[in-house]
A = this chain, B = another copy of it.
């Protein structure tokens, strides 16, 4: 059995995005219990020129959405980056998961050697589906998801790595 393009993308993104929702639920419980302004977490940056937590969530969602759409051969829907609060960020994740679930599995499975083009700023990059998934989408997705975890941990939210990884 070869490795499945679908198994390596859509269900993994859905799983990790759902874990991200669970992290945000723990963040909400943390600020509620301590009467902390939730913006202390959602606007938190690990360093002054890094994106705040809210933007990290948005980018994780966008990487997953873009990868699922491009590998599925369908247009990437545009989700505006308007979310500020924890409930809004959870809704953004839910919207992303709902979209990803609609992506046709057969098209994703057949995408490993289909070219896909990605525009980053003014640069265009052309990848095979496999390169795009392995070299771009997976590391970027895990990067932003992990950064959300680290930001919450750094602020004392009680989490462990198993909250991030979830069930195997």
Tell me the bound Cα distance from A136 to B161 in angstroms: 12
Does A1 lie within 8 Å of B131, measured CB to CB?
no
Per-residue 0/1 for A54-71: is the Cβ within 8 Å of any B Cβ (1 yes, 0 no)?
Answer: 000000000000000000
* Docked pose: A154 CA to B46 CA in angstroms: 5
Bound complex: CA of A127 vs CA of B7, how far in Å?
Answer: 14
Are A165 and B140 within 8 A (Cβ)?
Answer: yes
Q: What are the 4 tightest A-B residue pairs by CB atom distance, in nearest-first order?
A: A2-B2, A142-B142, A146-B146, A3-B3
How far, in whole Å, are A1 and B135 apart by their CA atoms in the complex?
17
On whether the beta carbons of A125 and B3 are closer than 8 Å, the reply is no
A-B contact pairs, 8 of them (CB 8 A): A1-B130, A2-B3, A2-B112, A8-B134, A143-B165, A146-B146, A147-B150, A154-B154
Complex CA–CA separation, A46 to B147 (angstroms): 11
Whole-angstrom CA separation of A138 from B135 in the bound complex: 12
Query: Roughly how many angstroms separate A133 CA and B4 CA in the complex, as a whole number?
Result: 12
| A residues 123-168 in Cβ contact with B at 8 Å | 125, 127, 130-131, 133-136, 138-140, 142-143, 146-147, 149-150, 153-154, 156, 161, 164-165, 168
Q: Which of B112, B154, B164, B165 contacts A3 (CB 8 A)?
A: B112
Cα–Cα, bound, A113→B3 (Å): 9
Give the residues in chain B near A7, CB-CB below 8 Å.
130, 134
Bound-state Cα–Cα, A3 to B8, Å: 9
Cα distance A146–B154 when bound, in Å? 14
Inter-subunit contact B139/A165 (CB<8 Å): yes
Assembled-state Cα–Cα distance A92/B140 (Å): 25
CB distance from A130 to the nearest CB of B (A): 6
